[in-house]
Structure 1
Amino acid sequence: MSSKVAKHIIVSGRVQGVGFRYFVNQKAKECQLTGWVKNLPNGTVEIELEGDEKDLACFVDYLKAGNGYSRTDQLHQSEIEPGNYTNFSIQY
């Protein structure tokens, strides 16, 4: 049985203006993860999400691959306390 984990992720590269947040939103829902994604003023994308460890690992692979228009240069991940989210959303 997988345990529930939560992560804070900062993605840098070509991740703004290329449909990346929408892609993250879709993949998070596919992987049954909850949390949120938003663009940061410095050109990076911030993600906070939680779910089963195996689903999170699968999601991170999607982030690295990108959506065909994006490019992930760096992925900074840190474990955080679960926020008990009920869904995944795009924040503006």
Structure 2
Amino acid sequence: MNAIATAATPSPMPPSAKTLRVVVKGRVQGVFFRDWTVQTARELGLNGWVRNRRDGSVEALFSGDPTAVDEMVERRCRVGPPAAVVTALSAFPSEDDPGQGFQRKPTV
């Protein structure tokens, strides 16, 4: 009976997720930045979204394992896909719900 109770006990919670909202500026529209971001974030197992902004920047929300979020923001997004030229990147902690998976959202 004790084994059944143990089997029903939830497994330990994974490490706390980290969520960052990021704005990337430079030549980041028209260079497949959003599609590259979706593919790269999915490879890293992140949840969230990416979208173009009317001011020419790209905005994204990344959530997941803190190491993977840092890799995406600090290493990958600072460079972007081959045709991109990133001139600035701002990252802010966020409490927004990233949803499940990673998707491309419409321009705002």
TM range (shorter): over 0.9
Q: Give the match for residue 87 of structure 1.
A: 101
Q: Distance in 1 between matches of 2:96 and 2:55?
A: 26
Q: Give the match for residue 90 of structure 2.
A: 76
Q: Distance in 2 between matches of 1:47 and 1:91?
A: 9
Q: Give the match for residue 68 of structure 2.
A: 55
Q: Which amino acid aligns with 1:47?
A: A
Q: Give the match for residue 29 of structure 1.
A: 42
Q: Give the match for residue 66 of structure 1.
A: 80
Q: Which has the higher contact order (CA 8 A, sep 6+)?
A: 1
Residues 10-67 of structure 1 deviation map (CA, whole Å, 9 limit, x = unaligned): 0000000000000000110011001100000000001012101100111111111211
State the identity as a percent: 30
Q: TM-score, with normalisation over the residues of structure 2?
A: 0.80
Q: Distance in 2 between matches of 1:16 and 1:39?
A: 7
Aligned pairs, number = 92
* Gap runs ≥5 in structure 2: 1-13
Q: Which amino acid aligns with 1:74?
A: A
CA deviation after TM superposition for structure 1 residue 82, in Å: 4.8
Radius of gyration: which is bigger? 2
Q: Which amino acid aligns with 1:21?
A: R
Q: Which amino acid aligns with 1:53?
A: P
Say which is worse superposed, 4-13 or 77-86, in terms of deviation.
Answer: 77-86
The alignment's C-alpha RMSD in Å is 1.3
Say which is worse superposed, 23-32 or 58-67, in terms of deviation.
Answer: 58-67
Q: Distance in 2 between matches of 1:83 and 1:20?
A: 22
Q: TM-score, with normalisation over the residues of structure 1?
A: 0.93
* SS of residue paired to 2:31: coil
Q: Distance in 1 between matches of 2:68 and 2:57?
A: 23
